[in-house]
């Protein structure tokens, strides 16, 4: 019986293990940590958003510049396949008002437990505390284990080692240097879906925890209508996470605090009454929430003195920040194994028989279930690619 080695027990590696064990291979699944799926469990802490219920063409555009790369994989394992898969693990699923799909339990632990039990029943051997270190002189996978170095022989290998955030949950990106030494092209890691650091003045303290809602954010050509929450360290939330690509390129961040009012309305029927203060206008005429009004005073500086500026401040308030919060706190990262380094079956051209899946590949997507969906889809595709490789070699 052929032996498949999967390294990395996150959603991508577990899906590769499922695909290969279902095809009748002997599968060993190794992870550096003492248990599987730690980041997946963390993803469920504030609601495990598995996928998004929307037309496929729209869904795929969320993979941005990687859309044409990931489309074949996601088309083979799309949002409805993700739902079926979760339901096949006895998880009740529901779709929220914005199309986001969650397990009824919200957290990841019941799903992960059921998945690991099914994999074990299919004969998948999970080995923990096995840190992959590359290859030994014979080309076998080499691990650091509590009892020393160990080589593992396999007919095919799938690496699903994650990106480079929340390193204590396993995705520490240390594998990149190992692959680079083997001639695999990688792109540098950078945060995505990350919060922004802001040095708030003391005036903003009372607003920590408050959400900026019904706003439109913009950075370069990207816009978003999502929310963000003020914290002592800055701004966090889907509204700004989704702008990560433009912010990475240094685009200035702006916020429209009244996206449903036109500039003409602000200078016409909703214009400030003569002699009234900015504060009065924002509160009484525009009915801005306290946190929105405070943000105008915080960010507008001297510009707020002149009523001529008020409408444009409200519509295009510049938001000063100090860049992303530490990369290790980002929900995901870009960078990792480059598209040019893998075949259409996600096999490393430089290391035949070794496939890659999940966030360790260099693609990007906003939150909203697109991350987990692509991890599952690439895990499955890498598994199928490994089967095709074995079939061709037979």
Ligand X SMILES: Cc1cc2nc3c(=O)[nH]c(=O)nc-3n(C[C@H](O)[C@H](O)[C@H](O)COP(=O)(O)OP(=O)(O)OC[C@H]3O[C@@H](n4cnc5c(N)ncnc54)[C@H](O)[C@@H]3O)c2cc1C
Binding site for ligand X (CB under 6 A): 7-13, 30-33, 38-40, 42-43, 48-49, 131-132, 160-162, 166, 170-171, 175, 331-332, 358-359, 367, 369, 371-372, 375
Give which of 230, 228, 246, 248 is closest to 238, Cα–Cα.
Answer: 228
Cβ closer to ligand X: 8 or 234? 8
Cβ closer to ligand X: 21 or 49? 49
Please, are residues 333 and 166 in contact by the beta-carbon 8 Å criterion?
Answer: no
Work out how close the CB of 39 gets to ligand X at its nearest, in angstroms, rounded to a whole number.
4
Q: Per the structure block, which two tokens stand in for 278?
A: 């900015």
Please, are residues 100 and 82 in contact by the beta-carbon 8 Å criterion?
Answer: no
How far is it, in rounded angstroms, from Cα 324 to Cα 248? 8
Cβ closer to ligand X: 44 or 272? 44
9 CB-near residues (< 8 Å, 6+ apart): 17, 29, 30, 31, 36, 37, 126, 128, 160
Please, are residues 243 and 253 in contact by the beta-carbon 8 Å criterion?
Answer: yes
Work out how close the CB of 366 gets to ligand X at its nearest, in angstroms, rounded to a whole number.
9
Cβ closer to ligand X: 230 or 360? 360
Work out how close the CB of 279 gets to ligand X at its nearest, in angstroms, rounded to a whole number.
37
Please, are residues 178 and 354 in contact by the beta-carbon 8 Å criterion?
Answer: no
Sign of dihedral through CA atoms 321, 327, 331, 335? positive
Cβ closer to ligand X: 24 or 139? 139
How far is it, in rounded angstroms, from Cα 305 to Cα 55? 48
Cβ closer to ligand X: 52 or 293? 52
Work out how close the CB of 388 gets to ligand X at its nearest, in angstroms, rounded to a whole number.
21
Work out how close the CB of 54 gets to ligand X at its nearest, in angstroms, rounded to a whole number.
14
CA-only gyration radius of the chain, Å: 24
Encode burial over 163-188: b for 16+ CB neighbours within 10 A, e otherwise.
bbbbeebbbbbebbebbeeeebbbbe
Please, are residues 335 and 179 in contact by the beta-carbon 8 Å criterion?
Answer: no
- The C-alpha angle 248, 293, 251, rounded to 5 degrees, equals 15
Please, are residues 2 and 390 in contact by the beta-carbon 8 Å criterion?
Answer: yes
Cβ closer to ligand X: 4 or 299? 4
In the chain the first and final C-alpha atoms are separated, in Å, by 12
Work out how close the CB of 283 gets to ligand X at its nearest, in angstroms, rounded to a whole number.
36
Cβ closer to ligand X: 311 or 375? 375
Cβ closer to ligand X: 58 or 312? 58
Work out how close the CB of 334 gets to ligand X at its nearest, in angstroms, rounded to a whole number.
12
Work out how close the CB of 114 gets to ligand X at its nearest, in angstroms, rounded to a whole number.
17
Work out how close the CB of 49 gets to ligand X at its nearest, in angstroms, rounded to a whole number.
3
């Amino acid at each position: 019986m052929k032996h498949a080695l999967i390294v990395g027990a996150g959603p991508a590696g577990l899906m590769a293990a499922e695909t290969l064990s279902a095809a009748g291979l002997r599968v060993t699944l190794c992870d550096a940590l003492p248990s599987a799926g730690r980041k997946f469990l963390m993803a469920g802490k504030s609601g495990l958003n598995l996928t998004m219920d929307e037309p496929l063409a729209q869904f795929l555009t969320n993979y941005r510049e990687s859309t044409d790369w990931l489309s074949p994989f996601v088309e083979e394992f799309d949002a409805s396949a993700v739902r079926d898969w979760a339901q096949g693990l006895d998880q009740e699923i529901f779709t929220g008002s914005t199309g986001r799909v969650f397990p009824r339990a919200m957290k990841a632990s019941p799903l992960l437990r059921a998945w690991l039990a099914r994999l074990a029943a299919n004969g998948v051997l999970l080995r923990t505390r096995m840190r992959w270190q590359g290859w030994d002189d014979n080309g076998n996978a080499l691990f650091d284990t509590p009892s020393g170095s160990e080589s593992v022989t396999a007919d095919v290998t799938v690496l699903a080692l994650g990106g480079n955030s929340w390193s204590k949950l396993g995705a520490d990106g240390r594998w990149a240097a190992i692959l680079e030494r083997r001639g695999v092209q990688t792109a540098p890691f950078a945060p995505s879906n990350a919060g922004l650091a802001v040095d708030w003045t003391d005036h903003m303290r009372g607003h920590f925890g408050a959400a900026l809602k019904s706003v439109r954010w913009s950075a370069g050509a990207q816009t978003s209508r999502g929310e963000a929450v003020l914290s002592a360290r800055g701004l966090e939330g889907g509204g700004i996470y989704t702008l990560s690509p433009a912010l990475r390129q240094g685009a200035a961040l702006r916020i429209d605090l009244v996206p449903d009012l036109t500039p003409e309305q602000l200078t016409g029927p909703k214009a400030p009454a003569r002699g009234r203060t900015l504060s009065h206008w924002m509160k009484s005429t525009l009915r801005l929430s306290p946190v929105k009004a405070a943000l105008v005073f915080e960010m507008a500086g001297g510009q707020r003195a002149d009523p001529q500026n008020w409408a444009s401040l409200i519509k295009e308030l510049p938001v000063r920040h100090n860049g992303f919060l530490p990369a290790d706190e980002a929900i995901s990262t870009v960078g990792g194994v480059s598209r040019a380094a893998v075949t259409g079956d996600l096999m490393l051209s430089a290391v035949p028989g070794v496939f890659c899946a999940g966030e360790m590949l260099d693609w990007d997507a906003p939150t909203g279930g697109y991350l987990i969906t692509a991890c599952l889809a690439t895990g499955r595709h890498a598994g199928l690619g490994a089967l095709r490789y074995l079939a061709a070699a037979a």
